[in-house]
Amino acid sequence: MFILKLLRRKKNISQTDLAEAIGVSLRTIQLYEKREANIPRKNLDKIADFFNVSISELYATEVNEINIEYKKPIQKKSKEQAHKIIKLGPGKYLVQAPLIIAEKQIKYLEKLEDILFLKQMPLIGFILENVSVSNYAAFEITNNSMFSGDYNGLPNKTIVLGKGVSLKEFGKSFSTADYWVIVLGNSIMCKQITNYNKKENTITCHSLNISPEFPDFTLNLKDVKLLFRVIKKQVN
């Protein structure tokens, strides 16, 4: 993000100084500033603490390639939604979504219809190239069932951004390549959905981890409260 360069200049420090302060390599800072690498949540926290700003402020003050701050960000917010969407520039949107950490997931299940509860959750920012009318929420992965050992996996404590998909529209947008956050009455899980049986109204849930403790299983969609397609991740 280009704001890092401005913050460094304001603090009069070099890329090397910043790299040492947050415990990464000089090359990593260079990639961050050029937007050529996603910044993991743990490093975002360190950067925000170092410059004494919030993560939301890091994204909300993002600048474009010629270091001119966008003067009139377009903020899209519905009274019935807890997330915020700010247009930073052409093909660049900041989505600030309520973050449901592991410790809050039980309470979240009790408050699914309570928009005030969601609005009290901390917001976490993701940069997207396009957005659409939907509900966005971020969830902390709570186990290693989706950890495959490679880049495509979602290890424990990964933060994923989910885009809400209505159960009625699920069949039209279903793809076996997607990962999904599945909200049930008593649990939240992240899975790959490998099959949708329209006649039986069931889905087959698959884990990327090949360990026997994570077998495939079938769910009836009538038991599902909410579905979110995973569209972005931040690996801690």
Q: What is the pLDDT of residues 182-236, one digit of tens each?
A: 999 999 999 999 999 999 999 999 999 999 999 999 999 999 999 999 999 998 7
- All structural domains of the chain: 3-60 (1.10.260.40), 74-234 (2.10.109.10)
Residues of the chain with pLDDT under 50: 63-78
How much is the pLDDT for 85? 93
8 Å CB contact between 55 and 124: yes
Give the global pTM. 0.68
CA angle 189, 167, 221 (to 5 degrees): 60
From CA 234, how far away is CA 101, in angstroms rounded? 13
In a 3-state reduction of DSSP, which class is residue 139?
strand
Tokens of residue 171, six digits: 């069949």
Phi, psi of 35 (to 5 degrees): 60, 35
End-to-end Cα distance, the chain: 18
Q: Are strands 188-197 and 224-234 parallel, antiparallel or unpaired?
A: unpaired
CA-CA distances (angstroms) from residue 4 to 16, 38, 111, 160? 13, 13, 37, 23
- Predicted pLDDT at 59: 66
Q: Which amino acid is at 87?
A: K
23, 45, 123, 126: which is closest to 81 by C-alpha? 123
pLDDT at 90: 84
Q: Locate tokens 């930073």: which residue?
A: 88
Q: Supply the angle between the helices 15-22 and 41-51 in degrees, to the nearest 10.
A: 120
Contact 138, 122 (CB under 8 A): no
Q: How far apart (Å, rounded) are the C-alpha atoms in residues 124 and 41?
A: 9
**Residue 149 phi, psi (nearest 5):** 90, 0
